[in-house]
Structure 1
């Protein structure tokens, strides 16, 4: 039953995904999915894209999936390892709950944390007593971990371009290989939106 149910849910997710959510298989493993959530508007997580790992037991849907954040997030109900403190994944799970419903519940939890049932009590205390500090830190983590293109654009563009410029100036021969490497640096590190799926590796001098 689990396979049939998951195929049906995956088809539904593909045809009519929940707002700001998407999901896909990992390879061809029907029992292992990855999901993406866009941070809810008017929260410290806005503009971020958060990746989740979803693993289904063979007893699904009679037992809940294991859902965790791959993307680091500063939240009282989500551990540093990405584990989520949410009742529908524990005591309130039922076979009628779908992956779409789980993702919408996670999105709702991001928008409205529950500090009375925290996974990280320290963050819950800050949320209750120093809310502006909580928002600032949560936004910093979002920019750092969930908005990599923004981070590179804002923090690395100028120094990388200066380094490339210096490399070009010091290369008296303007060797073709050096010129090409400088262009690769610019595309990979200063303009990651143009780099596609390239790995963000440390540059190696020619």
Structure 2
């Protein structure tokens, strides 16, 4: 197993700087992982680009750095099975950046970005998977169907992404709903209080001893919309107050009745 001891100190220092940069500012659709004890193997998870047969899939790959890196290019392999003209059945990646177009000044970010671009634009002319290359040239729909099938079976599922502010918006909406619920409870309480003490409008009134007016009728339960306890209590109070009213008899009528009885 290769270790950091197999790489020159200046290369290790450069790789550590690149890996830190990749971690803090990863390329679009790429997440890099590494073993701190072995910089010679770089792992990366690549999201299938939108609009390609690899969409909705995450593919794991690795870059193997030789002892004379960066003078010689790394070797790239897909660890996740994928149907692609430039990726062999054993996962080996064929791309010019990792072969004749290699330049020691190229960093890991550039290499990983080129590999992801390969998923967008394959090169069937330099195919390692002859079946995929031939199918891509002759029948793209059939090629795309095979690629989507491999993606659905072998690729990882991407983690859901949240839009900026989506969580806070959901929380705000929840708080608004709760506030509305509280207001509703308060409103219902106010309605209950108002219904329990019906107003004396449109009712006949009878003046009592104290000169106060007392309603002689009470709204039915169906109109108040509350339990009958408040209405019954109100009725009992009214009866009690009405009972305290003394009605004086008419003296003239009493005298007339007595005269008529005497005549008999």
TM over 0.5: yes
Match of 2:58 in 1: 49
Separation of aligned partners in 1, 2:66 and 2:50: 33
8 A Cα contact 1:2 1:59, kept in partner: no
- Identify the residue that residue 63 of structure 1 maps to in structure 2: 72
Q: Which residue of 1 aligns with 2:102?
A: 93
Ranked by relative contact order (alpha carbons within 8 Å, sequence separation 6 or more), the top structure is 1
Task: For 2:129 and 2:123, locate their aligned partners in 1 and report how far apart those are by CA, in whole Å.
Answer: 11
1:37 aligns with 2:26: no
Q: Is the 8 A contact 2:56 2:157 kept in 1?
A: no
Give 1:148 deviation, angstroms: 6.0
The 2-side partners of 1:81 and 1:62 are apart by 25
Give the Cα–Cα distance (whole angstroms) in 1 for the partners of residues 75 and 147 of structure 2.
24
Q: In the superposition, relative to structure 1, how do residues 148 and 13 fare at CA in structure 2: closer, same or farther (>3 Å)?
A: closer
Larger Rg: 2
Question: Does 2:121 align with 1:112?
Answer: yes
1:27 offset after TM fit, Å?
5.7
Distance 1:114 1:64 in 2: 20
2: CA distance between counterparts of 1:112 and 1:124?
12
Residues 48 and 143 in structure 1, CA contact (< 8 A), matched pair in contact too: yes
Distance 2:42 2:93 in 1: 16
Question: How far apart in 2 are the matches of 1:38 and 1:86?
Answer: 18
Which residue is 1:24 aligned to?
A: 33
Structure 2's unaligned 5+ residue stretches are: 1-9, 159-264
CA distance in structure 2 between the aligned counterparts of 1:57 and 1:114, rounded to whole angstroms: 26
Off by >4 Å, runs of 4+ in structure 1: none
Deviation at 1:33, TM superposition (A): 1.6
Q: Distance in 2 between matches of 1:33 and 1:122?
A: 29
Which residue is 1:83 aligned to?
Answer: 92
Deviation per CA, 1:44-89: give whole Å up to 9, x if none: 0001000001211121111111110000000011000110110110
Q: Which residues of structure 1 form unaligned runs of 5+?
A: 150-206
* 2:44 counterpart of 1:9: no
Q: Root-mean-square deviation (CA), in Å?
A: 1.6
SS in 1 for 2:80: coil
**1:137-184: CA deviations, max 9, x gaps?**
1000000000469xxxxxxxxxxxxxxxxxxxxxxxxxxxxxxxxxxx
Following TM superposition, by how much is the alpha carbon of 1:28 offset from its aligned partner in structure 2, in angstroms?
2.4
Equivalent residue number for residue 203 of structure 1 = none
Q: Is the 8 A contact 1:2 1:58 kept in 2?
A: no
Instruction: Look up the match of 1:134.
Output: 143
SS at match of 2:115: helix
CA distance in 1, matches of 2:75, 2:68: 12
Contact 2:58/2:157 (<8 A) preserved? no
* Residues 77 and 93, structure 2, Cα contact 8 Å, conserved in 1: yes
